[in-house]
Structure 1
């Protein structure tokens, strides 16, 4: 509706007055014509002397066999499941990395031992945890970069191996310096 003008009343009826009577009611609709009478059935006894058509007997329904064939397109076959993690681990590679990280872990273990002895055990744990978390993040990033880089590039592979070596060295230094000392301190309450 595009016309937005207000509606003006044609007549105002004051309150309290009766409303005017409506106009005459509309005329009733014309009556429907009567239905034709139904033909009477003469009965079965009158068929033999008259040539009347017999009422049609409904035909028996014919059984229908419906065969539906459904073909589901499963798409491409699913790839075989990956082998379990213990088969994917390169045990020899990790053993070589652990052995190569032992000499590198010595200076960091020496630093942690001095912090543990001179300041506090909690300070040594914090000092060990922050570099360990940083090197673990670097190792993860370097491994992902090496996995998704061109197989002919050596740079990402070398960075991944250096990051893994640093991770093993940091973890070994922490493991050699703090856990046994912490366990003895917690159990005995005496600093060795």
Structure 2
């Protein structure tokens, strides 16, 4: 070779099928030296007898006192929100009375439909027919009212949708009250079964 490296020459060739020689174990490292003995400067063996106490003194209990101060003010503390009125205090009586009066034009036809079902089919069928729209309109009214409360004050569409849902709910309630409860009470008290 011209680059100055010496080629590797094998020192021994082991034929195939022959076991490899056991590796030569290096001698174990010498054990570490023992730590130097430290003499206690004041063993006290003459005071406590031949079996005097050696080592550190027993631990002394430490009393730790912690004082915590909580600052209730400052610019980072949010102000307490104003208490909101209860749900019965938020009922807008004028708004609901106006919608109930407007819903009478829809409540009359709905009451006529329920009365026809009551007279021609059954009282139970009329109640089922009345309660399903009441439940659905109740959920829709609740959702639209929450949407209107959470909307920007300048938006009119959520307010109109909430008013329409409340108008339909009032129409369903008034129509049901006109057609079914009185007849159901009469049937229950007199025992008369519809023909």
TM-score (norm 1): 0.61
* Structure 1 residues 177 and 37: CA distance shift in structure 2, 3 A: same
Which has the larger displacement, 96-105 or 174-183? 96-105
Q: Does 1:91 align with 2:93?
A: yes
* Structure 1 residues 160 and 36: CA distance shift in structure 2, 3 A: closer
Q: Does 1:146 align with 2:148?
A: yes
Aligned-residue offset at 1:177:
0.7
Residue matched to 2:137: 135
Residue matched to 1:72: 70
Residue matched to 2:115: 113
Q: Distance in 2 between matches of 1:101 and 1:167?
A: 9
Aligned-residue offset at 1:182:
0.4
Describe the superposition over 1:71-127 as per-residue Cα deviations: whole angstroms up to 9, x where unpaired. 213443422322233322111111111111122200000000000000000000000
* Structure 1 residues 68 and 111: CA distance shift in structure 2, 3 A: same
Q: Distance in 1 between matches of 2:177 and 2:187?
A: 15
Q: Distance in 2 between matches of 1:156 and 1:68?
A: 56
Q: Distance in 2 between matches of 1:83 and 1:160?
A: 20
TM-score (norm 2): 0.60
Q: Distance in 1 between matches of 2:131 and 2:93?
A: 26
Residue matched to 2:54: none
Aligned-residue offset at 1:151:
2.0
RMSD: 2.6
Q: Which residues of structure 2 form unaligned runs of 5+? A: 1-42, 48-64
Partner SS, residue 115 of structure 1 = helix
Q: Distance in 1 between matches of 2:155 and 2:44?
A: 97
Aligned-residue offset at 1:179:
0.6
Partner SS, residue 86 of structure 1 = coil
